Amino acid sequence: MTQDDINKSDTQPDLGRRKFLNTAALVGLSGAGLSVGLTACNKESAPTAGAPSAPAAQAGAAAHGKYEVPPGQLDEYYSFSSGGHSGDVRIYGLPSGRQLKSIPVFNMDNLVGWGITNESKAILGTKPDGTPKYTTGDTHHVHQSYADGTYDGKYMFVNDKIHGRLARIRMDTMECDKITEIPNIQGFHGTFTDKRDPVDPSINHTTRVFCGAEFAIPLPNDGRDLDDPSKYKSLFTCVDSNTMEPRWQVLIDGNCDLVASSYDGKLACTNQYNTESGAVHYEDMMANEMDACLFFNVARIEEAVKAGKTSTIGSSKVPVVDGRRDSNKDPKTALTCYVPIPKNPHGVNISPDGKYYACSGKLSPTASVIEHELVLKWFDGDLANARDAVVAEPEIGLGPLHTGFDNRGNAYTTLFLDSQIVKWNVDAAIKSFKGDKDAKPVVDRIDVHYQPGHGFTSMGETREADGRFFNSDNKFSKDRFLPVGPLHAETAQLIDISGDKMLLVHDHSVLSEPHDSIIVRRDIIKTRQIYDMDEFPLAVKDPAESGVFRNGKKVTVKLTSQAPAFSLREFKLKKGDEVTIILTNHDKIEDLTHGFAIPKYDINFIVNPQETKSVTFKADKPGVYWCYCTHFCHALHLEMRSRMIIEA
Amino acid sequence: MTQDDINKSDTQPDLGRRKFLNTAALVGLSGAGLSVGLTACNKESAPTAGAPSAPAAQAGAAAHGKYEVPPGQLDEYYSFSSGGHSGDVRIYGLPSGRQLKSIPVFNMDNLVGWGITNESKAILGTKPDGTPKYTTGDTHHVHQSYADGTYDGKYMFVNDKIHGRLARIRMDTMECDKITEIPNIQGFHGTFTDKRDPVDPSINHTTRVFCGAEFAIPLPNDGRDLDDPSKYKSLFTCVDSNTMEPRWQVLIDGNCDLVASSYDGKLACTNQYNTESGAVHYEDMMANEMDACLFFNVARIEEAVKAGKTSTIGSSKVPVVDGRRDSNKDPKTALTCYVPIPKNPHGVNISPDGKYYACSGKLSPTASVIEHELVLKWFDGDLANARDAVVAEPEIGLGPLHTGFDNRGNAYTTLFLDSQIVKWNVDAAIKSFKGDKDAKPVVDRIDVHYQPGHGFTSMGETREADGRFFNSDNKFSKDRFLPVGPLHAETAQLIDISGDKMLLVHDHSVLSEPHDSIIVRRDIIKTRQIYDMDEFPLAVKDPAESGVFRNGKKVTVKLTSQAPAFSLREFKLKKGDEVTIILTNHDKIEDLTHGFAIPKYDINFIVNPQETKSVTFKADKPGVYWCYCTHFCHALHLEMRSRMIIEA
């Protein structure tokens, strides 16, 4: 099927209520449209900082206090959230909405010393001068490892859109332990873990991570084909979840946006908003009335890789298979299947029963429901037209983006332009699509404030979806919080979805710019609060090992911390020394973390209980430098110092 | 008065209930003491992540829901909080406890582009290679500018303990606009704005910021006197709040810890926990039973500076006056007054009526109350002994640190070791000190969880203290939140102090490691949500001015943003170019911020409505680089890109 075929397809839906949005209307949104919408909102609530706000009766608001997590009690869920171009991953408790941690991943973090310690630099990668290769990142999607179709509490994966990297976070310590830069891609937007092996039934857990590249570029991107966008291409990448090395890549037509994976391990997919080959301007990216949801047959791709039906690009050794339309015309051997979806879809999510993918139109007011078994049927050659895998396409509202699911067959989709969450029933949508005039897909709507991006349900991306909560991450907060200058926080709105009507529980603020989250039941997460000293090869296991060890200009300083003192009260160095400081925290009490800062040497890091960290720097400034504990530890915390003496 | 005199002083208080803590006991705290205390706490509430927590009846807990800020309503107070070694300043709403912003100050911030844009680098200062001079910082105390004894909403000041810097934040945009590195100091711990001019009654607003240095070092610290701690000295610095240049410094005996300023502008002061000259080890710093609260006579110091009774240190041109004990023996001409205070005090706070300073003992179970008028009397030569300025010294509990005040004559002090907030009445304490056996200073106690550091009352550092809330920033959260690995969040506990008994409102989590906060009534803060384009000299005021402007290898790229497009859809450069990109955001709608990221070039920053920013980098990698909007702005946000083409 060619793009022309898709555009001419007689299966293009007839959209009644609101037609596809055209370029002019959308451009206008930045001015009149958006401002009108928000002015209206302002009029509705209009709290100002100067005047006390009256208790506004908000439609759909839940009773006060019912969801409050009082002092001494714990939240029921963890919410793990990407930090967007803050570069971190955040952990919130729900229903309280309290932020419990920021895990540094692609950002530099003074508190922890991420980007400062030798251990973190080894994970981040460095330039020849020893500084981190990149100091920025744009985390987009977080997903955890699975076993038996639900989270196994082992790993979390998150991607960086700016520099095309995938990071892994250990769930026991909640720290990043690996980062991989994926070759020959740009705009790494969507990612998802697989849920089981496509072939071996004994492997019923995550072994791969799928990664979609949104921006098409010359391959390799070394200065060739600069002015020939028709030669720009995107790759879809599979990374091994254990080694974190890329296993294979697929050359595709169009681009990759969000990514999903099936519960049986057989398919991965990505929505495509830019099927216009060579489109590099936004109005051209909107030219096609139909774009696609692109499916990957994982087992076939891995057979092709094994059979050596691969190429490589530039200096990369990662095998690349050909997933373009023209090379995959026979469904029975095809590696890929392009299912036509109305205009510039954004978001693809699989239902907890594993049966359906919801792929929203963004510039079409529809969500397309694709049946998993029908896509497999197409790959078997038993479905004439890939579009026939679409079994429903309800009109749900303007600017539909992401969909969460409950455990009762309902879907909840964020409507960016309508500033609403729409609840719709999948079975009713299928009946309606088949012609049943009595079937009403849309069940309920609730206003959110304002312009929701991602939305997600509790355990909604697992077979254990529980239908308790939906969290709407809204891109604009406008007047929802006290004003703090031009840069606003975003609003997360927690919605109780356990009943027939959605009920707004609360607004909680989130610092810009989270993109996606998952809500995980707390019993799944088993953390360690104290390290094992043996995990660290450099550990200074006995305070008696402390000292200054010189090898020419290379000097190693070994010390330990135990409140309220460092094992070395002072240590002497010479100007010009290349110094490595190794610090092991001997405190064993939960939460008894120490910090270590060196004035004028731009160093700060922490050591958690039983942890070891190291830093390396050049002693280029003679004088006395009071290294001090930066992380409050003890009544004598202020007195906890070590004196670094650098002789001229 | 010499240190010997102080130690022999017959005015040393007789402490009944708990004697001064000695070294052995304190060292033990890191093991048995602290763990015992916390084990007890664990037994009390003991919620675990796996099991649902029973609603624990917490002593002193307030009724649910009463303080909740429901959707659509705004908080009543801002809380501005230092981020500690995170390096930022945070803004929370109270009573909700929601974080509304992180203002980057001494940290690098990917989201905003702080440390990346040319504008932020100009504020931070750079190395010869153009990178920021420092990337770490340790913010400790935040204080705003005053007029008429209350906040005027103009500026906020915050200090960096690691590198000895003072930063200023504009309150209209809530962004840092100036950073000053103070010469010849280390361990810049406490800071406070002045409240009015000491001499000119027409200047009834902030013009100075006082800065205390905690760590004594050789002067200058260039390699001299390394092994002679008796020659190490601390300086107390006054910075001009307008120019942000240091005005003068005072050479002192002992060290500076926290700082306070009087309402009449006449005095600044700092508590001293290390009056032991030359003490560099913690047990030596605890040798003296009495340390001090050191007062500075601002008018006399400025007269001495004007009269040229100054020296300079090293290459610094800042005039230094001599505030040491031996040089200030005659009160009538003294620049400084050392008031003896029991053992290693931490914290000094002035009461809202301007009459009293509370200075806590830390290793003594006491708070010392110093009467402002009596210190002035000492400077007039009318008080025989500086210690006589102490008018009360109630025993309040173990590990007393910081004190907040209400508007009814009560003080609230954090007790680090007791894990409590103690409420005590200042007048009753004075009566008791005078011998009135019926006077009971301690009014109430409430447990906090766990180990409080700073605590502060609503508007408590102004004449408008309103006695509504006390916020306890606790250094350990232990089991109060879902476990997130070895590094824990801290707990802030909001306490209603409006009645006779303190009532616990809620716990809210705060990411490590805030040191101090102020709680400000919301009507005082007037922010701007949209910039004026004319404020930016580089502004690209008309999209038609966009383009690539070449001057040899130096290339300037001017572009604008207006959702959903950048004014340049593509721009061409050559490998080796030194490129400056200037971006002006032409959107005028509140909250419509755009981002600009360049893959592989490690660049990301935002432009708020009508704002201009610039970045400079070397085009060293040929190829196609999709610069994209990182801050969600519009339905076509994903399509908002500019193609940077770098020819080989």
CB atoms A416 and B635 under 8 Å: yes
CB contact under 8 A, A529 and B486: yes
* Residue of B47, B91, B636 lying closest to A72 (CB–CB): B47
Q: SS3 for A377?
A: helix
What pLDDT shows up at residue A37? 31
User: What would the pLDDT profile of B559-611 be if each residue is shown by its tens digit?
Assistant: 999 999 999 999 999 999 999 999 999 999 999 999 999 999 999 999 999 99
Lowest mean pLDDT of A144-148, A426-430, B10-14, B64-68, name the range: B10-14
Q: What is the pLDDT of residues B630-645, one digit of tens each?
A: 999 998 998 999 999 9
Token pair belonging to A397 = 């509202």
Contact A157, A240 (CB under 8 A): no
CB contact under 8 A, A163 and B599: yes
- By Cβ distance, the residue of A214, A562, A602 closest to B135 is A602
Contact call for A34 and B68, based on CB within 8 A: no
In A, minimum Cα distance to B214 occurs at A638
Judging contacts by C-beta atoms under 8 Å, the chain B residues touching residue A187 are 599, 626, 628
Yes or no: say if A134 and A180 are a contact pair by the CB < 8 Å rule: no
Write down the mean pLDDT value for chain A.
91
pLDDT band at B51 (very low <50, low <70, confident <90, very high): very low
User: What are the C-alpha distances in Å from A409 to residues A171, A406, A412, B202, B273?
Assistant: 30, 6, 10, 72, 65
The nearest alpha carbon in chain B to A639 belongs to B282
Q: Which of A244-248, A633-637, B19-23 has the highest mean pLDDT?
A: A244-248
Which residues of chain B does A101 touch, with a Cβ-Cβ cutoff of 8 Å? 484-485, 487, 489, 511
What pLDDT score was predicted for residue B583? 98
Distance CA B30, CA B36 (A): 10
Q: Which residues, 6+ apart, have CB-to-CB distance to A99 below 8 Å?
A: A90, A91, A92, A510, B99, B489, B509, B511
Chain A closest-CA separation from residue B563 CA (Å): 5
* pLDDT of amino acid A157: 98
pLDDT-based confidence at residue B286 (cuts at 50, 70, 90)? confident
CB atoms A282 and B640 under 8 Å:
yes
The CA distance from B432 to B449, in Å, is: 30
Give tens-digit pLDDT for B501-560: 999 999 999 999 989 999 999 999 999 999 999 999 999 999 999 999 999 999 999 999
What digits encode the pLDDT tens for the residues A70-93?
A: 898 999 999 999 999 999 999 999
3-state secondary structure of B163: coil
Q: Name chain A contacts of B219, Cβ cutoff 8 Å.
A: none
Task: Kindly list the residues from chain A whose CB atom is less than 8 angstroms away from the CB atom of residue B99.
Answer: 99, 489, 509, 511
User: Can you give the pLDDT at residue B280?
Assistant: 86
* Better-predicted residue by pLDDT, B419 or A49: B419
Sheet holding A503-510, edge to edge: A452-457, A469-474, A490-496, A503-510
Name every residue whose Cβ is closer than 8 Å to that of residue A143 and which is 6 or more positions away in sequence.
A156, A157, A191, A192, A193, A209, A461, A518
Q: How far is CA B377 from CA A507, B327, B332, B389, B521, in A?
A: 54, 19, 10, 9, 35
**Out of A38, A226, A453, whose CB is closest to B624?**
A226
Determine whether the interchain pair A511/B99 forms a contact, defined as Cβ–Cβ distance below 8 Å: yes
Q: Do B484 and A640 touch (CB under 8 A)?
A: no
> Does residue A458 carry a pLDDT above 70?
yes
Nearest-neighbour CA in chain A from B332: distance (Å): 34
Per the CB < 8 A criterion, the answer to whether B53 and B47 are in contact is yes
To test the contact with chain A by mutation, choose from B101, B315, B615 the residue with the greatest count of A C-beta atoms within 10 A, namely B101
**Is a pLDDT exceeding 70 seen at residue A480?**
yes
Which residues of A are less than 8 Å from B55 in CB distance? Answer: 70, 73
Q: Give DSSP secondary structure letters for A348-363.
A: EEE-TTSSEEEEE-SS
Query: Which stretches does DSSP call E strand in A52-87?
Result: 77-82
- In angstroms, how far is the first alpha carbon of chain A from the final one? 75
Count of A-B CB contacts under 8 Å: 510
Contact: B84, A280; criterion CB under 8 Å:
no
Phi-psi region of B143 (alpha: psi -120 to 50; beta: other; left: phi over 0): beta
Of A314, A160, A175, the closest CA to residue A239 belongs to A160
Single-letter code of the amino acid located at A284: D
pLDDT, position B279: 84
Give how far A59 is from chain B: nearest CA, Å.
10
CB contact under 8 A, B29 and A635: yes
**How far is the C-alpha of A167 from the C-alpha of A553, rounded, in Å?**
36
Shortest alpha-carbon distance between residue A194 and chain B (Å): 25
Tokens describing residue B562: 């207006």
Q: A92 to each of A295, A314, A436, how far by Cα in Å? A: 33, 42, 43
Mean pLDDT of A251-263: 97
Query: Quick one: what percent of chain B has pLDDT higher than 90?
Result: 85
Closest Cα in chain B to A563: B30
Mean pLDDT for B224-249 is 97
Q: Is the dihedral of CA A75, A81, A83, A84 positive or negative?
A: negative
Could you give the 3-state DSSP secondary structure of residue A645? strand
**Side chain identity, residue B288:** N
Inter-chain contact A186–B599, Cβ cutoff 8 Å? yes
- Distance to chain A for B224, nearest Cα, Å: 7
Are the beta carbons of B460 and B469 closer than 8 angstroms? no
B626 neighbourhood in chain A, CB within 8 Å: 186-187, 215, 217
Residues of B in contact with A110 (CB under 8 A): 85-87, 106-108, 135-137
Beta carbons of A108 and B108 less than 8 Å apart = yes
Measured CA to CA in angstroms, residue B340 lies from B260, B300, B369 at distances of 16, 22, 11
Nearest chain A residue (CA) to B523:
A50
Distance CA A184, CA A318 (A): 10
Count Cα neighbours of A404 within 13 Å in the Cβ-side half-sphere.
30
Residues of B in contact with A625 (CB under 8 A): 186
Q: pLDDT per residue over A284-328, tens digit each?
A: 888 899 999 999 999 999 999 999 999 999 999 999 999 999 999
- Examine the pLDDT at B46 and tell me if it is beyond 90: no
The residue among A67, A86, A346, A638 with the most chain B CBs within 10 A of its CB, best to mutate, is A638
Give the pTM: 0.93
Q: Scanning every residue of chain B, which has its alpha carbon at the shortest distance from the alpha carbon of A647?
A: B223
Contact yes or no for A110 and B45 at CB 8 A: no
Digit-coded pLDDT (tens) for B448-492: 999 999 999 999 999 999 999 999 999 999 999 999 999 999 999
Q: Which of A26, A226, A640 is opposite residue B636, by nearest beta carbon?
A: A26
| Chain B residues with CB-CB distance to A223 below 8 A | 575, 622-623, 646-648
Question: In terms of Cα–Cα distance, which of B524, B537, B594 is closest to B562?
Answer: B594
